[in-house]
Amino acid sequence: MHIRKIVILTMLTVEVIGSNAVYAQSSLTLYGILDVFAGYQSAKVGGKNTSLSVLGNNGELTSRWGLRGSEDLGGGYRTTFVLENGFDPGTGKQQNPYRFFDRQAWVGIAAPYGEFRFGRQNTPMFAWSGNMDAFSAATYGSGYNNFSNWLARVDNDISYLSPKIANTQLEVHYSVGGQPGTLAGNAVYQAGVQTTQGPVYLALAYLNAANATNTVRVQEIMAGGNYDYGRGKLYLGYFRANDVISATTGNALSNPAGKYDPSVGPVGNVPGEWHSTYSVSADFRFSPFLSVGAGYAWIKDDSSLGNGAREYSAIVNYDLSKSTRLYGVVSRLNNENSAQYKMTGASITTGSFLTPDAGQSETGVQIGIRHLF
């Protein structure tokens, strides 16, 4: 009887130790962002001078919660995954009614020679755009974001991320279109490279997406970077595409920001015109907690409409801690001819912004708080 107890206790001890060893090789992280702001916009809408005061969501960053995990498989191999949901703190609603994990939902295998990922993923353009703009490609003040229309994320995406060599990393993506008889219909192809060399960061990304019948294609190219001069950074951003946000110049991208109905596909059947966005901005740190920035962006319309626009902006950031930031933004957007560009922030809910009349200007002010967890 005594020997039997010893055997049982030994087996239980081995099981517990084995379980702990397995768990020690795995990780799971719950993370998130809450971003709420008080906003004011003024523009001529419907022929009348109109102002809008709101308690808005997602000014500097889109509010979200997510799960990030990995499991060590041994030999330099790991299983990785991310599940991420976007929501509006003001109402508690999901950002995207078509899906729960609207921002990311993928699983991958990381190895010494790189990482493969499968599922709904961010595009390199979306992931890197904040490195090209003092406004992090968000808030009312980011003309780079307001004028451009990069596809933010893609469904059914297969990607490869290379190891970093000399602080340089390559990404390639192929999104399966799922159309019978063709590999091109609804497919999205991407490639990008980013590098950090001392105080200089540079990135280049390309995207090519087709409609269901492969008769209309959206092409996008992004380039830019920043230079860290010690007390802040200088930023340059460039984006060119044959799709555009402005309501009057055609739009081949039927599902902007990657928040589309999966039954539609990322590209519509109406060809768009080529547009080029340019952005110059800079920031300066008075202290580790306080920084200010300013920027100027403009968009050139290559179509016969000539629907360009310009935006001037300034921002103040004050970090109460590593997790909590207060921010303030003031900006002015000037539309040309019949353009109708507007200030949209990171992912502001419909109804929380104004769309100016054709060719009309817009003024915006934001004061917000952002908390990371």
What is the CATH code of the structural domain delimited by 28-372?
Answer: 2.40.160.10
Residue 116: helix, strand or coil by DSSP?
strand
Dihedral sign from CA coordinates of 10, 11, 12, 13: positive
Residue spans of the domains in the chain: they are 28-372
Let me know: does 184 contact 203? Beta carbons within 8 Å: no
Among 177, 187, 146, 170, CA closest to 279? 146
pLDDT by residue, tens only, the chain of 373 residues = 454 544 444 444 444 444 444 444 899 999 999 999 999 999 999 999 999 999 999 999 999 999 999 999 999 999 999 999 999 998 899 988 888 999 999 999 999 999 999 999 999 999 999 999 999 999 999 999 999 989 999 999 999 999 999 999 999 999 999 888 888 999 999 999 999 999 999 999 999 999 999 999 999 999 999 999 999 999 999 999 998 878 777 667 877 666 667 777 888 888 888 999 999 999 999 999 999 999 999 999 998 889 999 999 999 999 999 999 999 999 999 999 999 999 987 887 767 789 999 999 999 999 999 999 9
Question: Do the strands 275-285 and 26-45 form a parallel or antiparallel pair, or are they unpaired?
Answer: unpaired
Please report which residue ranges of the chain form alpha helices under DSSP H.
2-24, 124-129, 143-147
Residue 50, helix vs strand vs coil: strand
35-48 burial string, b = 16+ CB within 10 Å, else e?
bbbebebbbbbeee
Cβ neighbourhood burial of 181 (10 Å; 0-12, 13-18, 19+): exposed
Q: What is the pTM of this model?
A: 0.89
Query: What DSSP letter does each residue of 288-347 carry, written as one string?
Result: SSEEEEEEEEEEEE-STT---EEEEEEEEEEESSSSEEEEEEEEEEEE-TT------TTT
Residue pair 144/132 in contact (Cβ under 8 Å)? The answer is: yes
Nearest to 121 by CA among 161, 76, 94: 161
Length of the chain in terms of residues written? 373
Question: How far apart are alpha carbons 128 and 144 in whole angstroms?
Answer: 12
